[in-house]
Amino acid sequence: MKKLFTLALLGIVAISNAQYNSKNLTIKETANVQFTYKNLRLYPIYANQTFIDAHKDIGKYTPLQKALEQKKVAVTETVGTSPNSNLNQQNVQSGGETVNTLYIENTSNDTIMLMAGEVVKGGKQDRVLAQDMILTPRSGKKDISVFCVEQGRWTYSEDSKKADNAFYGYSKVSSMNVRKVAVVDKSQQKVWENVKDVTSKNSAATESGTYTALDTSKKYNADLKGYSDYFKAMMKTQGNVIGVVACTGDKVIGCDMFATTDMFNLYFENLMNSYSTEAITNGSSAKTDYKTVQTYLDKFLVDESKQEEELKKNGTFLKHRGKKLHCASF
């Protein structure tokens, strides 16, 4: 009996030691030399072998962008209440649709991972996702919390009509400020204010005020490519990276961590859009130091018993089958 108790205790300790904590996840002081481009500085987060081993069997996940491109997921406006509704209905329109809720359905055999801050085009107005979510194979219709990022439209566009009035496209991950107000503040008004700020500052203002107008801004996309090319090249030289802390000026603007290096690599390019857009729009020459970043990380890595509470205050986390797949802080 004593031996069984000891083995059980060792099992609990092993599980605890495998989590997102300061023993398993570290940054390097030298990152400020390598990982700096104009207004953006990234501190890669490195995982030790304990963390890597604990998450090696989490399975494969298909990103929303790929799922939309391959028509493995259907995103549509709500009408009334979905069969699996678990969200409060807000801002119900005359046709019965709900601004802050969409239907989403996995029609494939893949497991699909959605991330708060991702922007989908179509429907009666473009939306930003306000929560992380896992869609299991053949999920049926699910509700997902969203916010409008196109204040001046409430009709189906020609492209939407061609797609049977569904959401037909993907438009990157939104800027850090838009992600933050959607996830933490949960304020439609603040989302609109931040959309207006980022589009006007990047010469992408339109009549409908859509965030996705950034996709057609030549200067913005040229600037974005410069950031993306630099950091993608730098990241290829690294190993065991599961996340980054993003900084501009002398402050931290956010952090994303994933369960595996493969998951991080799968989402890194789209997350670069988020970090870079914030740096381009509201940033200044990057000079955030190691001590500032370490202090930021310590808030939710030192004491795991308070980690989820801290992330709920200023971010989000996604759990699936008992393990955290993604943690974000803003």
Structure confidence at residue 96 as a pLDDT band (50, 70, 90): low
Distance of CA 24 to the CA centre of its chain: 22
Distance CA 135, CA 108 (A): 10
Q: How distant, in Å, are the alpha carbons of 46, 141, 270 from that of 264?
A: 11, 27, 10
Instruction: Kindly report the three-state secondary structure assignment for every residue of 153-212.
Output: CCCCCHHHHHCCCCEEEEEEECCHHHHHHHHHHCCHHHHHHHHHHHHHHCCCCCCCCCHH
Residue-level pLDDT at 82 = 38
pLDDT tens-digit readout, 28-68 = 998 888 899 999 999 999 999 999 999 999 999 999 999 99
* Amino acid present at 106: N
Locate the domains of the chain by residue range.
Answer: 19-329
CB within 8 Å of 184: residues ≥ 6 apart: 313, 314, 315, 330
Kindly give the interhelix angle for 188-201 and 261-282, rounded to the nearest 10 degrees.
70
The pLDDT, as a whole number, for residue 18 is 64
CA distance 323 to 19: 9
Decide: pTM greater than 0.75: yes
Q: Report the DSSP pairing between strands 40-47 and 25-26.
A: antiparallel
User: Residue 81 pLDDT more than 90?
Assistant: no
Place of tokens 């980054």: 244
Instruction: Give the rounded percent of residues in the chain with a pLDDT score beyond 70.
Output: 89
Distances 257 to 207, 240, 297 between C-alpha atoms, Å: 37, 12, 11
H or E element that contains 222:
helix 218-235
